Structure 1
Amino acid sequence: MSKPFDMELFLAGVLTGSRATRQRHLRQAKLIQAEISERWQRETPWAWQRKHVVWLLEHRLNTCSEATRYYYLLTVRLLARRLEKSWKFNY
C-alpha cells in the first residue's frame, strides 16, 4: 500500500509569503488535486496534463467569483512552477 500524496511537501520549495498565503495555496492545491483525481484518476501532479488544469479553471470554477478564480490561478501557477512546466493560462 502506498502513502497518500503529500501536497505540502511537494510545494515546499516554491511556497513563499505569509503563513496565511501559504495555507491558502496548500488548501487550494489539495482541492485541485482532489478534483482532477476524481475526474481523471490522476493522483499526483506529475501525472497531470495542461488540459486537466484548464478543465478545472474553465468548468469547475465557472460559478465562483472572479477573485476566487484569480486565487486558484495563482495556485495553479505555483504548481506549474514546481512541475517545471511552461504552462500559460489566459484567465
Structure 2
Amino acid sequence: MKEDFLHYIWNFKLFNSNNLKTEHHEEVQVIKSGQHNTDAGPDFFNAQIKINETVWVGNVEIHLKSSDWNKHKHQMTHLTTM
C-alpha cells in the first residue's frame, strides 16, 4: 500500500465514519478532511476533527507506519482547539 492511496481515501472520506474512536475510546468525528497538500509540509491543511466535545483544527499527517510520526518529527507540532 502507498501513502497516496491513503491520502485519496482520507480526502474523499472513503472510510466508514460511524463509530470512529481514539485508542482511549473517545468519539471521533471528521468534520472536514482538510485541503490536500501535494507539496512539502503536512499532507492536509485546515482539517477539522471533533473528539468528544472538542473540535480540533489544523494539519493532518498520514503515514503507513506509526513510527514515521517520530521519524518525521511531527511530535514537535502544536494543535489548536476551536
Specify if TM > 0.5. Answer: no
Q: Which of the pair is proportionally richer in helix?
A: 1
Q: Which of the pair is proportionally richer in strand?
A: 2
TM-score (normalised: structure 2): 0.31
